[in-house]
Structure 1
Amino acid sequence: MNIWPTDIRDQSTWQQFRLRVLVIAYMNDTSYLNSSGDKIQASINIATQFYHYHNVDINGKKSELIVINPKLPRDDLYIIIGRDKLKVQTTDKEIRYLGCYFSSSNSRKRSIKRIKDIIEKFLNPIRQKRITVGHIAYLINHILIPRVVYVAQLMTLSKNEWNLLFIPVIKLVKQICGLPRSYPISALYHQYILGINNPWDHICANQITSFTYLINSNSLASRSIMIRCSE
């Protein structure tokens, strides 16, 4: 796919692509993203009018606002939403949206601690139960790893960091299997021994699959990726 111009300054080699997407949005789990508060407020006003015409109320108390790199004083960082004209002030706390967490400051330590808490919350009830090797492998592969990978999709962790986070899991697996601490971890990951998945391998496999699909498709996303790879 040759979409990169020979001379970027030659407008005759440029290509333009347009995409029209029809969207039906409801206020539940709806996010507004824009470069300024005025633009977001304008979008919210249009949505408020739509719901007003259909006699639908918006619960502004459940609305939250994040402002990244603000240029205005904190008191001026707010939006007005709903029929009652509720004022929603910006927050420095994390916001949970569709299972992921967002904040105005990307705190790496806080994100890693959350993953640790998820793993510990998963392991605590298992420590009190008698389960088989097959059960623990299934729970790790189909519940724990998809959960932590989904929560961590907004951050980048190295292979070593994932291995450190997974140490309590490996320790518990060895205890359940009656294995010594010196037992090689690679054997636990072997598909013909225990078959436990590794979160790092899971992430790499998903990203490679998605990337392969996109670069072999004929979509705007594919063209955008090819241009970025050529930069």
Structure 2
Amino acid sequence: MKRLSSTLLQHNILKGPNFAGLLEGSTNTPIHVINNIIEDAQQSKKELWICLQDMAKAFDSVEMVLLLNTLKRIKCLPPLISFIIHLFKNRKLKIITEYSLSDCFQTGDGIDQEETIFPLIWKIFYNPLLVRINDDFSLGYILKDCWPNNLAPNTKEYWLKVREVAFADDTAWIMNSQTEMTCIINISNFFYQLNNIKINGSKSELLVWNSKILKDQLQITIGSDSNIIKANTLTQCSRYLEIYICSKANNCHVERLIQEKVKSICSILRNKKIMAAQLIYINNKILLAKIEYWTKTVFINEHRCNSLHNSFIRLIKNKMRIVTSANNNIVHHKGIIGAIAHYQHLRGAQFAEFIIRLNSSNWGGISTRILLRKIQIRLGIIDCIITIHLSAIVDITNIKSFSFKVLREMKSQLYNFSRTQLATSWNIICNSPTIIEKLKQITSRSNASDNAINKDLMSYYKKSDNQLGLIFYCQLLANSSSYLMTWDQIKHVHHLTAKGPRPRYMRALERDINTNSFHRTIPQNYCSLSSTLYITNISPIPISRDKREKEWIVTYQDGKEYIGKIIKKSNRSSF
């Protein structure tokens, strides 16, 4: 089976996103893909539907004829097909009883979930459905980043379209609307009915983000029994691969789970006659390993980690007849007791996984890099966010991204990332200061309160997705970079949505140069070296023939660009 697995992996034969069965299979990839998609939907306020599907009857009901055809589909050799089929066909079993073996009896055909070969066989059997759905380009959630190579009007898109992720029989359907989710459920139902697989609708769950549909209509129908699944509430937890997911963007549900687990173990061991070495083993090998898995996508600060772990540390002190007021370093010191601290274990595991994921070519690595690129643009950073100095990101706390928090924590602990060719491609070249640099210059000269200054900076960090392209100060200028455009002009030039008020950071820039509605010429020392003409992608949209409409237009004359509003239109034939 190892030879078969390595061959399938080497030639990428099983293209469906089922991450179990092969040698490099791990739950890390589907878990982080789902988490990255949820973070993107929350940050970008995009609609997202996730259905966590539960199979009630799958493996035992697999027909051998269908399994035979599935093996032939991937061109397995006849001897191998015969060997696999005979493992599950016409089997006879005996039960080990207290006294002896029971009489032999024949079982039905099917795949035993306990078999060591099960994950690979199920991956092969389940692959046609995943490939069929993955090849449908009309379905799925798009994780995308439009990366500006420079300030010329050209960008490079990094994107990943995800329709489903699976690990063995645990499947999560990922769509961006109720219509798409209904479509994918109908396709999968046909496959399940064909293969006599039953879906447990009562245990399947639906999670929805940013939908405009009424709450009582947030539901789907699944399975041959047409079970109606209603969307979970914001605070209701769902479980996928033993990871708990909540629609509300916080970690309270995981922290509460950890706290209950620690208290449960402490209550069991409190009245037991147990040695310190046994307690250390339970802490290092059992408790922390369980917590580590639960927190694969959860960032908990040091103070909270210590608070959650204190109950078990007090138990160790109590069993060793040490006063509870004694410093915890005694318990954690390798030469004395050697109990690993929760914070130390958690950070070590998260740092290692982050480095592996960052350099990975699978969906987990691709989605992580896309999110980090979007965060870099959102923060107005022109150098690679991975290799940049800690001072550029240390004070930014409003970005609710697990990968960004891990990266910031690694830098605070003096981890250094070497610059590679990949990191160089994350740089944006321009000889103009960035908007965030200009805002920081303003705040350094301002006499305003720290709260007002932080609000100016936060308004830029929290800008909507359609404003992500506004990075450099010269993008806000016109007339040979000596004129600060109004917010309405900026929206027209950069094709932003007309809705919404003028952002707070724009008001701060206007106050700094003492502009008003009639005079917006900036001082010479504020002028940029770059011209807006060459950095703005102006689409050739024709002027309306309606004389009542007075559009803002951009013209170019004698090497200079001019922005103005139409006062009067001549006859229609001139357009």
Scaled to the shorter chain, the TM-score interval is 0.7 to 0.9
Tell me which amino acid in the other structure corresponds to 2:239: R
In the TM superposition, 1:149-160 aligns within 5 A as 149-160=292-303
Cα distance in 1 for residues equivalent to 2:291 and 2:150: 45
Structure 1 residue 17 displacement after superposition: 8.7
- Normalising by structure 2, we get a TM-score of 0.36
Distance 1:18 1:29, change over 3 A: closer
Match of 1:147 in 2: 290
Structure 1 residue 103 displacement after superposition: 2.3
Cα distance in 2 for residues equivalent to 1:25 and 1:178: 46
1:54 is aligned to 2:195: yes
SS in 2 for 1:70: coil
Match of 1:171 in 2: 314
Return 5+ residue gaps in structure 1 as ranges: none
SS in 1 for 2:171: coil
Distance 1:47 1:191, change over 3 A: same
1:225 is aligned to 2:369: yes
Cα distance in 2 for residues equivalent to 1:24 and 1:67: 19
CA deviation digits over 1:108-139, x for unaligned, max 9?
44432222111111111111211111100000
Cα distance in 1 for residues equivalent to 2:215 and 2:336: 57
Q: Is the 8 A contact 2:166 2:172 kept in 1?
A: no
Match of 1:128 in 2: 271
Match of 1:205 in 2: 348
Moved more, 169-178 or 56-65: 56-65
CA deviation digits over 1:142-195, x for unaligned, max 9?
111111222233332110011111111111110111112232211211112111
Structure 1 residue 217 displacement after superposition: 5.7
Greater helix content: 1
CA deviation digits over 1:43-65, x for unaligned, max 9?
11111111111222222222111
Match of 1:192 in 2: 335
Match of 1:100 in 2: 243
CA deviation digits over 1:195-218, x for unaligned, max 9?
111121112112222333345566
Structure 1 residue 10 displacement after superposition: 6.0
Distance 1:35 1:159, change over 3 A: same
1:182 is aligned to 2:325: yes
Match of 2:216 in 1: 75
| Percent identity (aligned) | 26
Cα distance in 1 for residues equivalent to 2:188 and 2:172: 12
Moved more, 147-156 or 137-146: 147-156
Cα distance in 2 for residues equivalent to 1:117 and 1:44: 36
- The root-mean-square deviation of aligned C-alpha atoms, in Å, is 3.1
Cα distance in 1 for residues equivalent to 2:356 and 2:296: 19
Distance 1:68 1:185, change over 3 A: same
Q: How many residues align?
A: 225
Bigger Rg, structure 1 or 2: 2
Structure 1 residue 78 displacement after superposition: 0.6
1:45 is aligned to 2:189: no
Cα distance in 1 for residues equivalent to 2:156 and 2:201: 45
Tell me which amino acid in the other structure corresponds to 2:313: I
Moved more, 207-216 or 60-69: 207-216
Cα distance in 2 for residues equivalent to 1:182 and 1:25: 46
Distance 1:38 1:222, change over 3 A: closer
Match of 1:35 in 2: 176
Distance 1:17 1:97, change over 3 A: closer
Distance 1:215 1:194, change over 3 A: same
Structure 1 residue 104 displacement after superposition: 2.1
Greater strand content: 2
